[in-house]
Amino acid sequence: MKKALICITLICSMLLCSTSANAKQSTKISDIVSLHSENALFSDLAYNIDAEVINFIKKSGVNITDSSLIELIPIDDQKSLQANRTNDSTNILCVKNIIGNIIECTYITSFEYNSIGQLSIASYPEIFTSSANGSSTGETFPWPDYYPITVTGGIYYELFQDDFGYPYYRPIDCSVRIASIDSDVSCSYINGTYSCIGKLVDPTTFTQLGNETYTHVISAHASMPQLYYSYFGNNPLVGKAIDCFGDIDAGYSYNIVFTCNGELYSYTPIK
């Protein structure tokens, strides 16, 4: 009996040690929020993230809780993604979605505080992703042009900057090629509804992945509320304006989904 108890105790101890070791490999969002620094630069391990950046992520409509499956991962785990890259990777932010097994890394050059204490990103020259099989893609695009990115599944968090210079993350739930286009957008307001028609900047830039349909996401700016509008082929879709950031379901349903203050709004555009 004593031997059995000793064996059980040893097994439980080993399991507890294993659990503790695994827990150290990930960082909870709540832990990251508590790490606030006056200098908003990310550390080499991408753990010392400024709390205000987390607030920006929250403002974009992303629900961040202790039970969230989003974690920041250290650069040491990203060596395969840094191969053949000449950029300085000191300030690199990596966000991993465990469900989709997608790793998204963004180079952060620097942060700045303006005269009224608002945090803004000075530049972020490159975005690249890693799929489950370890392959990676990386392309450089100048801001404020568009960022074509390849998504292989799951929820992808894309770094954007709003009209006031605030950085924020916008979740995109899709398995297709997505682009954000900020030019050649014509909008009208009819009976309480914004209708926007956009034109592709360079159609040759976008490629079709397999037999999947790619959808272009247009961000309408100017003085109107933040409106995200899905543009499929040559058919304009009518969008509903909501004064907040939104998620876009760019899959096969052509629905646009907004998350505002924890509440979900959705509608089916007119085809």
**Residue-wise pLDDT tens digits, 218-243:** 332 222 222 233 322 222 222 222 22
Q: What is the pLDDT of residue 265?
A: 36
Q: What average pLDDT does range 31-37 have in this prediction?
A: 29
The Cα 148–Cα 167 span in angstroms is 18
The answer to whether residue 256 scores a pLDDT higher than 50 is no
Most confidently modeled range among 117-121, 153-157, 184-188: 184-188
Classify 262 in phi/psi space as left (phi over 0), alpha (psi -120 to 50) or beta. left
The answer to whether residue 162 scores a pLDDT higher than 50 is yes
Burial class (CB in 10 A: 0-12, 13-18, 19+), 70: buried
Q: What average pLDDT does range 178-188 have in this prediction?
A: 34
Burial class (CB in 10 A: 0-12, 13-18, 19+), 239: buried
pLDDT bin (cut points 50, 70, 90) of residue 211 is very low
Among 233, 229, 220, which residue's Cα sits nearest to residue 257? 229
